[in-house]
Amino acid sequence: MTSLVRRLRTLPLRSRLAMLVATAVAVAVAVAAVACWLLTRAQLETELDKSLRGISAPQNLVQEMLQQCGNGQPPPENVNTAFAFIQIVGSDGSRCVEASSQPVKIQPSDIAVARGTEPSTLHDSTTEDGAPVRVHTTRERISLRGEIATVSISRPLGEIDNSLNRLALLLLAVAGVGVVGAGAAGLWVARAGLRPVDGLTRAVEHVARTEDLSLRIPAEGEDEIARLSRSFNSMTAALASSRDRQAQLIADAGHELRTPLTSLRTNVELLARSEETGRAIPPEDRKALMASVKAQMTELASLIGDLQELSRPDAADPSPLQVVALHTIVESALERARLRGPDLTINVALRPWYVRAEPAGLERALVNVLDNAVKFSPAGAAIEVTLSTQGELTVRDHGPGIPSEELPHVFERFWRSPSARALPGSGLGLSIVARTVQQAGGEIALRPAAGGGTVAAIRIPGAPTPPPTGPAGPGPGATRA
């Protein structure tokens, strides 16, 4: 059985489907044929029983049989009832058989009728030659002599068996034709039904062979094949979009890396040429050159870190979300921001607010927002940082602001305003901020500030009080803030 199942699994789906259809039809036809044969046999037996109950031996024949069998003479022949066997049963089990009839074996039920303990009986028996018969035995009153005789009338079962055998052959032939037709129909249905699957298979093989993700499969209707085709089209579209974004990321990263690398290479070549020629660079120029090299290396390290952060899939982020105090993380980010803008005034108004986020990533995002405010704020200006009781964090600067036509692009990777391209940066900071805030279930927006400048507004779902487990971590029973 196991080997048969393994062999079936090696067959093509089309062949297996045709075999399953043929098997199902064969079983159905077999069950129907057997049921038909059994019902026909039962009906024929019922009709035979009715026929036996309706047959009665002529009284003159029965009287002559009693006289002649009683005198030891041969019983008379009744040509009118040659289709049935007639015999008279005695209470001692003796019998008197009509001359043209076959002698039928006496059964105990026949003797019981002859003795008067049973009114009649209907049963199967056999002739002395072994031929099966159906027997009806009853007591009949002989009016000419005024006595009662037990008469047994039998009919051969061969006439039913012959009809049933012919019916069985006919049903077998019909079943065979039905199974063959079902197999052919199953193969045709399998081919017609699996034609869309064949098209899908060819499409998948084409994509695997050529990596052409622009291929689309026509999907018509609402059946499973159409749904599978639409799912395949969606998958290839998503893969194509992902590949395009990956290629764009590589191109943008190469473009952004080229500028600091070119500048770094130029500075290093100047230092190497000075060593090779023996011409010393003036101390002030050398100091400025080393500062430029250090700044470019710092910019490269920052850019590489940003690229690593953006290249990490969301689903592969191993850092678990924790319940953290947003106001505490803002204070930590402010300390770093004050070091980068010592000549700026930062006005802070923070209210307690607890959120569920990844602490290190959230702090880095807030540092990026504050860095932008520091970068675009003029010397001696003020920056207002506010965390309201509703959990909205706003960072307002008094810089040049962002033109309205540029606001839709500020969160795109590597996008930089034309007015800011002269300033240090890679254009990835706000992309990382948007990603981190979205992972925490929040949202971020930039809008022009009244009187000039820009307002960065961050809203993350949370609560003004910590959960029972505290802000240090979610703990076993932590709930969403």
Distance (Å, whole) CA 199 – CA 209: 15
Please give the average per-residue pLDDT across 447-461, as a whole number.
Answer: 88
Cβ neighbours of 473 (radius 10 Å): 14
Q: How far is CA 250 from the centre of its chain?
A: 36
Res. 475: pLDDT tops 60: no
State residue 355's pLDDT score. Answer: 92
Angle of the 326-340 helix axis to the 359-376 helix axis, nearest 10: 40
Using DSSP, state whether 204 is helix, strand or coil: helix
| Dihedral sign for Cα atoms in the order 329, 331, 335, 337 | positive
Structure tokens at 320: 């678990």
State residue 2's pLDDT score. Answer: 64
State residue 316's pLDDT score. Answer: 45
Please give the average per-residue pLDDT across 128-144, as a whole number.
Answer: 84
Structure tokens at 35: 């049921």
Spatial CB neighbours of 146, under 8 Å, sequence gap ≥ 6: none
**Count of residues for the chain?**
481
- Find the DSSP H helices in 211-282: 224-277
CB-CB contact of 450 with 337 (8 Å): no
Please give the average per-residue pLDDT across 47-68, as a whole number.
Answer: 82
Q: How far is CA 75 from the centre of its chain?
A: 83
Q: Which of 83-92, 124-133, 241-250, 470-479 is the least confident region? A: 470-479
Distance (Å, whole) CA 260 – CA 297: 8
Using DSSP, state whether 58 is helix, strand or coil: coil
Structure tokens at 252: 């943008």
Give the model confidence (pLDDT) of 161-217 as tens digits.
888 888 889 988 888 888 888 778 777 877 777 777 777 778 888 878 887 777 777
Spatial CB neighbours of 129, under 8 Å, sequence gap ≥ 6: 102
Q: Which of 80-84, 144-148, 283-287, 347-351 is the least confident region? A: 80-84
Distance (Å, whole) CA 257 – CA 59: 126
CB-CB contact of 324 with 294 (8 Å): no
Please give the average per-residue pLDDT across 384-389, as a whole number.
Answer: 92
Residue of 6 and 129 predicted with greater confidence: 129
State residue 384's pLDDT score. Answer: 92
Distance (Å, whole) CA 357 – CA 354: 9
Q: How far is CA 225 from the centre of its chain?
A: 13
Q: Which of 219-223, 339-343, 455-459 is the least confident region? A: 219-223
State residue 479's pLDDT score. Answer: 37
Spatial CB neighbours of 431, under 8 Å, sequence gap ≥ 6: 310, 411, 412, 413
Residue of 8 and 251 predicted with greater confidence: 251
Res. 393: pLDDT tops 50: yes
CA distances in angstroms from 401 to 341, 373, 445, 447, listed in the order given = 18, 10, 14, 9
Structure tokens at 256: 């952004």
What does 385-429 look like in DSSP terms, one character per residue?
A: EEE-TTSEEEEE--SS---GGGGGGTTSTT---GGGTTSS--S-H
Counting residues of the chain whose pLDDT is more than 90, the rounded percentage is 11
Distance (Å, whole) CA 35 – CA 41: 10
pTM over 0.85: no
Among 79-88, 138-147, 159-168, top mean pLDDT goes to 159-168
Structure tokens at 349: 């108004």
Cβ neighbours of 427 (radius 10 Å): 20
Spatial CB neighbours of 458, under 8 Å, sequence gap ≥ 6: 366, 369, 392, 393, 394, 437, 442, 443, 444
Distance (Å, whole) CA 90 – CA 181: 60
Structure tokens at 381: 């200006």
Domains contained in the chain, CATH given: 12-54+158-212 (no CATH), 57-156 (3.30.450), 235-311 (1.10.287.130), 322-463 (3.30.565.10)
Distance (Å, whole) CA 302 – CA 296: 10
Average pLDDT, the chain: 79
Give the model confidence (pLDDT) of 279-318 as tens digits.
888 888 888 888 878 877 876 776 676 666 666 655 444 4
Q: Which amino acid is at 438?
A: Q
What's the number of CA atoms in the CB half-sphere (13 Å) around residue 110? 25
Q: How far is CA 144 from the centre of its chain?
A: 87
Please give the average per-residue pLDDT across 259-268, as a whole number.
Answer: 79
State residue 80's pLDDT score. Answer: 45
User: Confidence band (pLDDT; 50, 70, 90) for 249?
Assistant: low
Res. 473: pLDDT tops 50: no
